[in-house]
Structure 1
Amino acid sequence: MVLKTDKGNWFWKIFKRIIYRQLIEKFIQESLPNIDDTDTISEEFEKFWNLEQEKALKDLIKTESLSEEKNRKNNRKLSFYRAGAFKKRNFGSPD
């Protein structure tokens, strides 16, 4: 079943916002208290974000019994294209 409206796939937009919110809250609770220099918050958040993406990808590969080598190659390509979009969208904030 595909949940689409005239405005696009609202289900996935809501899902992404929930995930983004959870990750931001996790960063605030776990990482932010350990940052002494407030000028480095954006860099620390980017490190945190990338680490969480890597964890999620590894978990997906393991759960779905996917080929790690194929995914590594695809991930490099995807990372190249995402790098610019990530910075333009203010740390991947929801649409």
Structure 2
Amino acid sequence: MAWFVLFVAGLFEIGWAVGLKYTEGFTRPLASGLTLAAMVLSVLLLGLSLKSLPLGTAYAVWTGIGTIGTAALGILLFGDPVTAARLFFIGLIVAGIAGLKWLG
């Protein structure tokens, strides 16, 4: 269950990171409110997962999910560059998360 909670926390991590782009410097109230709510939920769920997961593992997985999801949505939504090197290093993050999950 803790891994599922951590996964959902990572999804909210993606949500607030991408949401920052839509806040336009926190000048758009709805986007700003949703982004702040995603921030709070992400951290709360991370905290819940830490009841039974090791801190270093949980934090690395949480930020990894956020990084991968944000990079992917940056490519899909905002036209961020897609290069072989970028995809390779995103793949390394995926491998790191899988390894931490396997160990932890």
TM band (smaller chain): 0.3 to 0.5
For the pair shown, the structure with the greater C-alpha radius of gyration is: 1
TM-score w.r.t. the length of structure 1 is: 0.42
TM-score normalised according to structure 2 size: 0.39
